[in-house]
Amino acid sequence: MSAGRLLRSLLRGEGLVFTAGVYTPVQARLAELAGHNCIYVSGYSCSIGYLLRPDIGFLNLSDMVNFAGMIARAVRKPVISDADDAYGNAVTATRTVEEFARIGVAGIHVEDQRFPKRCGHLAGKLVLPFDEALLKMKSILRARDEVDGDLVIIARTDVLGSEGGTVEEAVRRGIAYADAGADVVWAEFRSPDDEAAKIFAERVLAEHPSLPLLFNYSSSFKWSRSKWRLRFRDVASMGYKLLLVSMGGLQAELVSVWRYLKGLAEEMEAAHWRLESELEGTPFENLHEFAGISRYAELERLFLPSGELRERYGSE
């Protein structure tokens, strides 16, 4: 079964589908081992993780296809990748669809911002006019049908966070993208207590009752300190089917690596001994096995000349 079909099956199933954003094959493998049913390649995490730059348009199509491709090859679960604004207009965006389909991801999300795009929770966003945004989405969907009909297209509107943006316009765009054939619709909201989240879901689902909606449990917000303190079950009860903790993997990595390196600087070997203890019983306690050395050792045994094996490993 193709990755796209796997993701579609998940979205048709019972319950909320959720995961955290990752940016490396290692993080993706950990998400898979931890029991997540899909993997999300976060564009902002890639921008920070590889460039140490904010998400204001520094990454290009080749970058994201390369990162997402390495991740898709490292896991068996379906992979959703950030495709930003599809890196062009309605015509050049067709190549974006072709390239992501080629590497085997299950789905991509595309937003209706003007180039250069930026994180949905940074000020200064500009969105395409409604008619241009809709035509661009129709072009993307047509390209999808031509190259891989299973590829899930997630249409995102950032209009709420733009100057003068309204929930009415977000709903208008969400319904229009669904009418055009988008598989999933996503609106970016302004805060963890944004009433627009409820309004958007109610109005879009009134027109498209079976449409999966995506909710960004954004790493830009402090959910535990918000007024609503939304739990995942609250998001599901509003009608959302897919939830992404957008930069969760990067945030967790930063905390863990910072603690270790700070400890190493201050406590020297004691910090590393503590890390060795913490590694015990994890799937990555033995890094050689985590990377699959046994598989390649077996390939050597089967296919390398016996003389080379004796040279490498001795007479045994």
**In sequence order, what are the residues at sequence separation of 6 or more whose Cβ sits closer than 8 angstroms to the Cβ of residue 303?**
none
CB atoms within 10 A of CB 294: 11
d(Cα 252, Cα 255) in Å, to the nearest integer?
A: 5
Q: Please pick, among 20, 97, 119, 182, the residue that the annotation labels catalytic.
A: 119
CA distances in angstroms from 157 to 35, 188, 214, listed in the order given: 30, 6, 11
Q: At residue 42, what is the residue type?
A: S
Its sign, for the CA torsion 129, 246, 204, 134, is positive
Residue ranges of alpha helices (H) inside the chain are 3-12, 25-33, 43-46, 61-74, 93-103, 130-147, 167-180, 196-207, 232-237, 248-267, 269-279, 287-290, 293-303, 306-313
Question: Is 119 an annotated catalytic residue?
Answer: yes
Name which of 48, 143, 155 is nearest 100 in CA terms. Answer: 143
Active-site residues, by number, are 119
